Structure 1
């Protein structure tokens, strides 16, 4: 039966391409090269302090301690600082669902539901719709910062960044020619990628890639079960590793522990409503056995993060869930309001939109904490195969190859939600944007080093406390 109100006509591919080319007048491609912080640029330390205000107080110094390990570690934790810088710049006006923190370590290997090893974006705490170029510029700058730490020359760093951005551009132009369903089904299977890149890898590098893939396959719930648990009085419990991993039994008195344990139980039970019915049924086959507070990442340190040990058929049938607090995205002050009232739902829906395949137990819930405040969480498996890059061990050629893979992966993620035809038309077939992004990356790496030193000075002057852990 026909709708009573006619649908608005959708723009043709030609009209969408014209829109992309018109965006060059608003934001010329060469203009992306410029990064000139305004005179009233916010103090990066104050930005980080505001972000930490609602975090677990005793864990915040660990965050600063981790950020002070190197300029690259600082960059990983300073997504809010860069969001403020990007938010002050002109944009193309073409939006996609953004990762919001697309540095090179937020890509990696993990398992598809069909038990294939895939490569994809893997962190979505900051996801929101926004100008597609913000993700590309964050990725580009991360490669420049990593290249500096590895001692690469400026020319080699520029080659690495241009290679990654060129890969994004060429992949997006390919996706612009594809049908909608073909874009949706596209993914990067790790085995296929190994074959595709074989001619660019030496024998030793091919062996290293194979070993990394095998390691990723073994980083699963069974490995987590073996490494993170022990037997106490005949029962399986999470082993303490303070301050990074603290079981509930060590975190508070027995009465308060029982109260929080009940609230975590309710959180896990309620979050199941956000899953598809078959996965909700699977979750119901497990019972909660123990829980612990866990410190994760660099930028996320201090957020409330719990790991929950679940047992199924018996004690040899484990499942580890991670329930992580979701606060507002660092992009929120510079974009349109989120479509979701729950920040956990924002994270999950953004992840589902950007990833080609995902965790079958990914969901969200709002729960009351021991302090009586209700907070938003997203829940996922703690490990379901996992492989991460080690950029500090990479040669310039290896980092460039990895950057190209990240660039193409980011293009696929953006092509699912953004106007891929408009973005491709904006980028064009030449290297104008590639060169501009490389100049921006170097300029931002300079700024990042100044901000890194500012945090160190703030610690020395007692403005903030830092702790290595």
Structure 2
């Protein structure tokens, strides 16, 4: 450990070289630990001279960005027969297109002004990538829940993607322009004020901060006036119903939905093309593949902490299936792993999801695969482990992470090496039904997302500098609001371009799946 020095500032604040988020502004985490709050705030204020807050309103697409070409380029690295399903899901609406177009937005953001203040980014911080799940203490917490694209970069890139998603979703829900603007401003204001609060707190307080959904609902209900309580009675009731439903969405519920007992053995139920059992895949020796997977699972086990390895050792792999998930992820490999313990009914469902190169990697200024968050120090240059990148990014940004979160590399395959990260499948996982949100309920949700993103950025970046850069006024909020509306317009044009490409035969799409 002598080669990973730490430095300590107020309240035990530390930063190690191995887990720093990186910074093109030339401030490494080891340096950050030695900087005073005054110097960090001065750095944030100085950044305004280079990139004024108003500059974040600007957006004009470069002639070099072809959204359809970018999507087709991604398709080359995906399972060919699943790519049309991805395009079909993106065609449903401008919002579903936006969900699958993280690469397109990364290319667009590369041409915008940046603050130079960096942190670990989610990389795909749209509103559907937030939600509830079970913490290791079995409490339902609200957090970011998708880190496929996590990478170090300018903090405002996540804020812009989140803000634009609220405009796109609001329009899809039939909100007026004013209502969509109010929702979007709520998200950005919540982010800015939360960052400023975190900037005044010791780093340990920031790391312990989390949002428990039960407590949030109770506080919200208690804060309402009698009039507001009547107006929002249905919203509070719906929130509590969703809370109750979340507690049923665990591995046992997934077990009932995804598996059955055949000849005394529990097996995953196939439903091609969305769920394809291993023994239904042509050209595969099932026994041989299961043996190889067992070896890979042993490699994954080594990425867990010692106590969790002991827990994992109670289970044995018994069945595997491929499952199509999400919108943007469709076409990447995602496997459901059924593991069984020695006691009847003792089961564990894991998801092994392929991790490809982050969409941000080619666009973040002055950063690349050599980022400590993107690769293991033991990896040779240019040979980052993408599964590890996802896991480290998730651990940096989430207040509570899945106890079975880990990674593995499958090699060799016909496509070369494939990196994966693993986690439990559906552990109390619940997401907002975006299309059911009213302007009022979406505004509340926006504030939760803004606070949560701020806490994630405060954990991994220089919260003092970011807070000083943002300042007390709403100038940043207004600029991001303007950007979000402009980008939502662009997203609608891109969605229409995809429909045209499908009609012309340039892009293949399969709808209804």
Instruction: Name the residue aligned to 1:69.
Output: 92
Q: Which residue of the other structure, out of 98, 105, 108, is the alignment partner of 1:82?
A: 105
Q: Secondary structure at 1:366's aligned position in 2?
A: strand
Cα distance in 2 for residues equivalent to 1:450 and 1:315: 54
Selected match of 2:427 from 384, 387, 392: 384
Number of equivalenced pairs: 465
Deviation at residue 263 of structure 1 after TM alignment: 2.3
Per-residue Cα deviation, 1:378-400 (whole angstroms, up to 9, x for no partner) = 01111211110111111111111
Deviation at 1:411, TM superposition (A): 0.2
CA distance in 1, matches of 2:312, 2:399: 23
Offset at residue 371 of structure 1 (A): 2.5
Matched, 1:21 2:51: no
1:244 and 2:268 aligned? no
Aligned match for 1:31, one of 26, 50, 55? 55
1:146 paired with 2:169, answer yes
Q: 2:502 corresponds to which residue? A: 459
What is the distance in 2 between the residues matched to 1:364 and 1:418?
A: 24
Identify the match of residue 430 of structure 1 among 461, 469, 473.
473
Compare 337-346 and 137-146 and name the one that shifted more: 337-346
CA contact (8 A) 2:87 2:509 kept: yes
Deviations 1:372-427 (A, max 9, x none): 72211101111211110111111111111100100000000000011101111111
Tell whether the 8 Å contact from 2:55 to 2:113 is kept in structure 1 after alignment: no
Residue 312 of structure 1 and its aligned partner are, at CA, apart by 0.8
Q: Could you list the runs of 5+ residues in structure 1 that have no partner in the other structure?
A: none
Q: 1:130 and 1:372 mapped to 2: Cα distance? A: 29
Give the drift of 1:370.
5.1
Deviations 1:48-98 (A, max 9, x none): 111121111100100000000110000000000000000111200000100
Contact 1:101 1:124 (C-alpha < 8 Å) held by counterparts: yes
Distance 1:371 1:330 in 2: 23
Please list every run of at least 4 consecutive aligned residues from structure 1 whose deviation after the TM superposition is greater than 6 angstroms: 5-9
Match of 1:184, SS? helix
2:156 aligns with 133
Closer/same/farther in 2, CA of residues 6 and 281 from structure 1, 3 Å limit? closer
User: In the alignment, is the contact (CA less than 8 A) between 1:271 and 1:365 conserved in 2?
Assistant: yes
Cα distance, 1:315 vs. partner?
Answer: 4.1
Q: How does 1:48-447 map to 2 (within 5 A)?
A: 48-198=71-221, 199-200=223-224, 202-253=232-283, 256-335=285-364, 336-338=367-369, 339=372, 340=375, 341-368=384-411, 371=414, 373-447=416-490
TM-score by length of 1: 0.96
Tell me the distance in 1 between the aligned counterparts of 2:500 and 2:285: 39
SS of structure 2 residue aligned to 1:188: coil
- Checking the alignment, whether the CA contact within 8 Å between 2:41 and 2:464 is kept in structure 1 is yes
| Distance in structure 2 (CA, Å) of the matches to 1:363 and 1:250 | 27
CA RMSD of aligned residues (A): 1.7
Tell me the TM-score normalized by structure 2.
0.88
Residue 10 of structure 1 corresponds to 34
CA distance in 2, matches of 1:435, 1:466: 38
More displaced stretch, 21-30 vs 194-203: 194-203
SS for the counterpart of 2:352 is: strand
Q: Deviations over 1:96-142 (max 9, x none)?
A: 10000000000000011010110001000000010000000000000
Aligned equivalents of 1:311 and 1:280: distance in 2? 15
Moved more, 128-137 or 372-381: 372-381
